Structure 1
Amino acid sequence: MAYEAFSYYYDILMQDVPYHKWISKTKQYLPQGSTILDVGCGTGTISILLAKEGYHVTGIDLSEEMLSLAYEKTLTEGLGIHYVQQDMSRLEGFSDFDGAVIYVDSLNYLKNDREVFQTFRHLYESIKEGGILIFDVHSLFKVTEIFQDYLFADTNPDLTYIWHVCEGKYPYSIEHELTFFKREGDRYERFEETHYQRTFAIEEYVQWLEDIGFKILEISADFLDEAPTEESERIIVVAQK
């Protein structure tokens, strides 16, 4: 999905996200100096943080707008990160990486189980024997309970936005309806975007991974290093080739 105008305000919306928790999870399983595919890298925040920790990072994203911002941020930081525009479910041209990560529920942007399975299969082919795959997804509880008719609004001097989440067309899917008001002098310019996400049961993710050949190393929730409960919101899965 191309983020279009949304890409330019993504970092504002995500400024309170605890990115350090994803970095800590990476460091649990992949030593510094490892080569990593950061799939669904967005504006490059996690790619940049990983590079600063000594990882050799290649960022993958479908959105040209997001990658353009990632590249600009990387240049500003003086880092060397390779960015590639690709659909994660059609990933090609990569091999022998030490690991791959799909963070901040990027996997939930895939439309169906076939695309998720294809993504896992392509990543299996992209990492070396013994390589690590780490990803996180929304739990069923979060999609069916937390996100149902969720409404949030925020404002700052240059941007005001309204974020509404409603039930999607498919099982365990949601639609994010985003309305932005960008300040232009004494007036505001309004624009809207809709984003779709879908998740699946933990058991389904595990089955697809094992069918491909992955071994499950960890299933935890909410960065607590504990097994998921019925009210967990973010599921973290670590698998090994």
Structure 2
Amino acid sequence: MTTATTERQQSGDPLISVDDVTFGYGEVPVLESVSIDIEPGSFLGLVGPNGSGKSTLLDLMLGLRRPDEGTVSLFGEPAHKFDAGERIGYVAQDATKAARDMPITVREVVEMGRYPRRLFGRFSAADRQAIEDALEQVGITDLASRRVGRLSGGQRQRVFIARALASEADLLALDEPTVGVDAESREEFYGLIHDLNATGLTVILIEHDIGVVTTHATDVACLNRQLFFDGDPEEFVETDALSQAYGKDQHILQHDHK
């Protein structure tokens, strides 16, 4: 757990606060009057049907977009003004797919996580130790010299997580990170994320598999333009939020992960 995370947990302030946010693309509303707080050290699973606004909400939380109405704060600052990018590890939907064409090694990708922190363009002993620790923490030390494009999808996921850890990020944001990854690698991946969250790392996950979310997340938010539920996973499965958000005839991906 980083010092920054510890201090903010003690302060009791939300790491992210979304207050009555509305957003649309042109005349098309995507989010309407959404309010949600994300506490330091929590693991938020964000679920909802395709086109429900999940990725847009995550973009707003990370300051990548500005709301049409309402406010978003990130680490106590207006999200769109937040510039300490090293505190955020973000794995987009197509990150592992794009990595297939990257002509660089695993170590070089993980080193990118230290770029904002290094002094005078050189890696210090502390930088190099952080890189080695990140590789070890996600179990890819033996792959450090391999080209990223030659790894499996599950291995590439771990590379991007290691990059975030090397930067000493306080927040890890994952947008459907296991698309196209086999079931065994998915289970290992979410076991890793669960363990990282247990160290105090705050996690936001967009995921269609409701079983993954209810198994690993500490909080669930169910979204379809509006927020239908925000709270404890066990309470979530007892409500009708899923049917409200998805519609009774919608197919919901839900596996047993016990």
The alignment's TM-score, normalised by the length of structure 1, stands at 0.36
Structure with the higher fraction of residues in helix conformation: 2
Structure with the higher fraction of residues in strand conformation: 1
